């Protein structure tokens, strides 16, 4: 099993390419075969397979071959991991501002009381 940090490396690496994002975009609307994925991309099947390998290694997409058809699906839980890493850092930054706001409000309140007394 991959270490969480290595998995994040692979996931963000997978997301850092417009063709791979287009494949995830397509798969967010439902499972697709490799040729369905390739169709709107104006790309050779072998190029699509290479991108698919990057997506699969990252865990963002899984594929299953039944007979001659390989069906691709996104993994919403893996997308959730990539999303949460960012949202938690953003939330921490915003909480910092909230605390700063509260502190300044208390300071202003204290000053007002002092002036009144």
Nearer to its own copies (CB atom), residue 34 or residue 74: 74
Q: Report residue 63: phi and psi, to 5°.
A: -130, 150
Interacting residues with its own copies (CB under 8 A): 5, 8-13, 15-18, 21, 24-25, 27-30, 74, 76, 79-80, 82-83, 85-87, 89-90, 92-94, 96
3-state secondary structure of 64: strand
We find the least distance from the C-beta atom of residue 106 to its own copies, in angstroms, to be 19
Q: Residue 33 — left, alpha, or beta (φ > 0 → left; ψ -120 to 50 → alpha)?
A: beta
We find the least distance from the C-beta atom of residue 94 to its own copies, in angstroms, to be 6
We find the least distance from the C-beta atom of residue 113 to its own copies, in angstroms, to be 29
Nearer to its own copies (CB atom), residue 3 or residue 113: 3
Alpha helices in 1-117 (DSSP H): 4-15, 18-27, 34-38, 45-58, 76-116
- Structure tokens, 90: 């953003």
């Amino acid at each position: 099993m991959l270490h969480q940090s290595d998995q994040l490396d692979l996931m963000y690496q997978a997301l850092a390419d417009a063709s791979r994002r287009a494949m995830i975009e397509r798969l967010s609307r439902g499972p697709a075969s490799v040729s369905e994925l390739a169709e709107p991309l104006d790309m050779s099947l072998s190029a699509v397979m290479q991108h698919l390998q990057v997506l699969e290694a990252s865990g963002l997409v899984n594929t299953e071959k039944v007979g001659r058809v390989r069906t691709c699906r996104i993994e919403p839980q893996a997308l959730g991991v990539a999303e949460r890493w960012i949202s938690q850092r953003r939330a921490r930054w915003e909480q910092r501002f909230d605390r700063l706001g509260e502190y300044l409000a208390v300071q202003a309140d204290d000053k007002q009381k002092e002036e009144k007394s």
